Amino acid sequence: MEFNIQNILVFVSLGLAILYLVKKYNPKGIVFFCGTNDIAALKGPKETLSDLNIFINKVKSNLPNVPIFIIGIKPTTAREYLRDEEIQYNQAISNMSEEDNLVTYIDIWEAMLNEDGQPNSNLFVEDNLHINADGYKIWTSIVRKELSNYFDL
């Protein structure tokens, strides 16, 4: 099976983002990383999860049976003060995925930690927020493993 992978960043409402995806790409699956900036903007895990549910429901109504893969929030030194909220949000997504066979939670948290249980600074650029090439290698490996449960990669 051949895949045309698109990296799309959309700065509009979730509803418009879904309509854009439906009309332009008709995806076989959606890999979605979200939540970190929302929680940093002090929305909190519940409100951020509510926004995610809007997205999921729009996908389901416009793209029935298309699996959604949600990459959990990663631990960072830059946002250590949000650790509890990020863990709470990730747990809520994990719980959601256990109840919905079209939603898969991709846990990258543990893979981003060093042996002391702290964010591995070797995986981040200087701002200690965004991941570097080594961080992306880890993400790629984890995401590919999850996608291979649905697709012939």
pLDDT attached to residue 8:
52
Residue 58 neighbours by CB distance under 10 Å: 19
Domain 18-147 sits in which CATH superfamily? SGNH hydrolase (3.40.50.1110)
pLDDT attached to residue 13:
53
pLDDT attached to residue 12:
46
pLDDT per residue over 37-52, tens digit each? Answer: 888 887 888 888 888 8
pLDDT attached to residue 11:
44
What is the radius of gyration, based on Cα positions, of the chain?
A: 16
Give Cβ neighbours of residue 54 (< 8 Å, ≥ 6 apart). 14, 15
Rounded to the nearest integer, the mean pLDDT of the chain is 87
Of all residues in the chain, the percent with pLDDT exceeding 90 is: 56
**Bridge partners for 30 per DSSP:** 68
Of all residues in the chain, the percent with pLDDT exceeding 70 is: 85
pLDDT per residue over 119-151, tens digit each? Answer: 999 999 999 999 999 999 999 999 999 999 999
Whether pLDDT at 23 is above 80: no
pLDDT attached to residue 132:
96
**Bridge partners for 69 per DSSP:** 31, 104
Domain boundaries, the chain: 18-147
| 59, burial (CB in 10 Å: exposed 0-12, middle 13-18, buried 19+) | buried
pTM of the model: 0.86
